[in-house]
Amino acid sequence: MLRQARIAVLVSGGGTNLQAIIDAQQSGIIQNGKVELVIADKAEAYALTRAANAGIDTAVLVKKQMSQADFEAGIVKLLDEYKIDLIVLAGFMCILSGDFTDKYPERIINVHPALIPSFCGKGYYGLRVHEAALEYGVKVTGATVHFVNSIPDGGRIISQKAVYIEDGDTPEILQRRVMEQAEWIILPEAIEKVSKNIIAGE
């Protein structure tokens, strides 16, 4: 077996994007990377169950019980321990400091549920993104996979996919459609692309 990029996925909630990554590994969409570790910032995150079901190691660092510096130091320790090459933020609701992101240039990727530069940056996460798109009246939204730097949603774009807004959409309906038609497709594809580049660059 050729070397694969070692991946850590950071999660906060249900882990639907994590499941899409696990499924993409099993179906062969992701071949050059392998998820070795899932880190959650909440002990009750269902993503941990998804990881355990797939035989992936898990760790919990409860953000609200520690300082930002201690939280990030804990993540760094785990990443070092598992010799992680690529960090994927999949529904991870914590902003990482510039000190952290600077340690891993173009080695952290995130999926954002809008077409950056629309509806992104500080305060735009989860359902708020879809609420804003509907309030603004845009006809097309989508998802973006981008590298993470010190500016929220400010890193270089890897891929985007558009999703049409339909009459009668609620934020919840739109959130589901963006996940199904965009996030779950482009996130695994981007992981494969970046993993391949990491391996090729060695």
Instruction: List, by residue number, the catalytic residues.
Output: 112
Closest among 192, 109, 194, 189 to 153, alpha carbons compared? 109
DSSP class of residue 97?
P
* Helix then strand then coil, % of the chain, to nearest 5: 40, 20, 40
DSSP class of residue 156?
P
- CA 99 centroid distance within chain: 19
What would the two tokens of residue 22 be? 């696990």
